Amino acid sequence: MRLWPKVWAALLFYLFIGLMVVFFSPWAGIFTYPLIILASALFILALRLRVRMGGFLAGSVAAALCMGLVIAFLAIIGAILIGPLRNGYVYFLGMGIIIQLLVGLGEEMSFRASIFQCLFDEAGFWPAALLSAAGFAVLHLPSMSLLGVGVESGLVALGTIFLAGVALALLYAYGGLLNAIAFHFTWNFIEYNIFNMGPLEGAISVTKIGPDILTGGAFGPEASVVGLVAIALLIPAIWLYYRDVPPATM
């Protein structure tokens, strides 16, 4: 009888990360991420997981195109009004770089390089991608609750984040860890720190005119049906891009 040791290791690590998010992050905020990065690095070393660094270009371009099209579409249909640069934009951009580097490193090292990699080693790509993406989506529930996201927008956000987890698994599996980090960084930096679309301070003023189901409300485009459709279309695009490339995690 097979015990699936890496599956159990992934589950225990997921529970550990979940406890940090639920009990530690509400008062520690962004400072939770250095601890997650450290814990992930120790986990990877302890289990001797094979993590290829890879490049970052494909992930950066995919995120910039996808989020750029989402924001452009919302502006064209009149759901948002893009304004001028805000006072203090240099500070907002500088802080955004630091914050999103920590977020990208922490969430990709913990979910893709640790949890996904363990599941991949035991069960293959699709079970690993779907299970890790589901866990990734669930761990965003506390932030949705803090921001007062409604049920309808919350369900859309869960769907978008789940699909983003699948896209990130593809980028990681075929392009390496830096590829997934680059996507995560660029996606968040554009929606939150360049455009003021979410709970962080962005450099460019954005006024949300349309309903939350279109704009994403306080949570940003990830809680928007436009964001959901965009990430759903991105997955087959990534798959086609890498169709002749063997997985880097093999």
For residue range 170-214, list pLDDT tens digits in order.
999 999 999 999 999 999 999 999 999 988 889 999 999 999 999
- Averaged pLDDT for residues 212-241: 95
1 has a pLDDT exceeding 50:
no
DSSP percent split of the chain into helix, strand, coil, nearest 5: 75, 5, 20
205 phi, psi to nearest 5 deg: -70, 135
Looking at residue 105, what is its pLDDT?
96
Q: How many residues does the chain have?
A: 250
Q: Read off the pLDDT of each residue in 163-169 and give the average, rounded to a whole number.
A: 97
Q: What is the mean pLDDT of residues 69-94?
A: 95
Distance CA 234, CA 94 (A): 28
What's the whole-number average pLDDT of the chain?
A: 92
pLDDT, average across residues 43-50: 95
Query: What is the per-residue pLDDT for 101?
Result: 96
Cα 102 to Cα 100: distance, rounded to the nearest angstrom: 5
Instruction: Check pLDDT > 90 for residue 166.
Output: yes
Q: How far apart are CA 111 and CA 116, in angstroms?
A: 6
Binning pLDDT at 50, 70 and 90, where does residue 24 land?
confident
Average pLDDT rounded to a whole number, residues 97-111 = 96
**pLDDT band with cut points at 50, 70 and 90 for residue 20:** confident
The yes-or-no verdict on residue 77 having pLDDT over 90 is yes
Confidence at residue 22, expressed as pLDDT on a 0 to 100 scale: 81
Q: 161, 138, 157: which is closest to 223 by C-alpha?
A: 157
Task: Say which amino acid occupies 81.
Answer: L
- Mean pLDDT over 118-134 rounds to 95
- What is the rounded distance in angstroms from the CA atom of residue 245 to the CA atom of residue 239? 10
User: Which structure tokens are listed for 189?
Assistant: 């930096």
How far is 145 from 142, CA to CA, in rounded Å? 5
Give pLDDT, residue 244.
Answer: 78
Number of H helices, E strands in the chain: 12, 2
Q: With cut-offs at 50, 70 and 90, classify the pLDDT of residue 227.
A: very high
Burial classification of residue 64, based on how many CB atoms lie within 10 Å of its CB (0-12 exposed, 13-18 middle, 19 or more buried)? middle
User: What residues have CB less than 8 Å from 157, skipping those under 6 apart?
Assistant: 140, 144, 149, 216, 219, 222, 223
Average pLDDT over residues 60-64: 96
Query: Which residues on adjacent β-strands are paired with residue 82?
Result: 206
The backbone torsions φ and ψ at residue 56, rounded to the nearest 5 degrees and listed phi first, read -130, -5
pLDDT, residue 231, reads: 97
What b/e string do you get for 13-26 counting C-beta neighbours within 10 Å, with b at 16 or more? bbeebeebbeeebe
